[in-house]
A and B are shown apart, each in its own frame.
Chain A
């Protein structure tokens, strides 16, 4: 069974540009989470989808971040316009059930904003 995949693995963009990150969860997992790790800090929650609906987006830093999950399958996270402080590793995770099920993580996308 394929694990969680993320694309691209690494993105380098200039401040003010737009970047879209993609996550493909494990097939059949309705729950999809986005997390971010800024250099030297802990991994922080961004948002949670259940199928195509946003269940919790309390961790989204500001309105420059837009997440979608069309059809309840893959998800995209768009940053527009990117700022220097957006640099970090963006992780996607999926889980089979709600509440306390283990989450399976992808390898992350390393975003560098220059």
Chain B
């Protein structure tokens, strides 16, 4: 099974400042079809997860452009260019390259 490891566990950020979250997989996420099925999800308190980014760097419909994803192989990053109050929550990376699908442990973004 692929293990997803996120750092940091918590990220206190000043409003308007950037935030960055890292995700590392225990093996390459490049699928045999050439795609890399790495997604980022946001979970606000009391809500289900919400898709932000799919296939490393593609923003899902309605996601603000302050969110961006990058990376390749086993190392991936989610960046928020300027954190807003509504960005508070827990962020998860998820791989769908191989069954079983697996999630990172989460990174909590909070305002300083």
Judge: A and B partners, yes or no.
no
Which A residues are within 8 Å of any B CB, using their own CB?
none
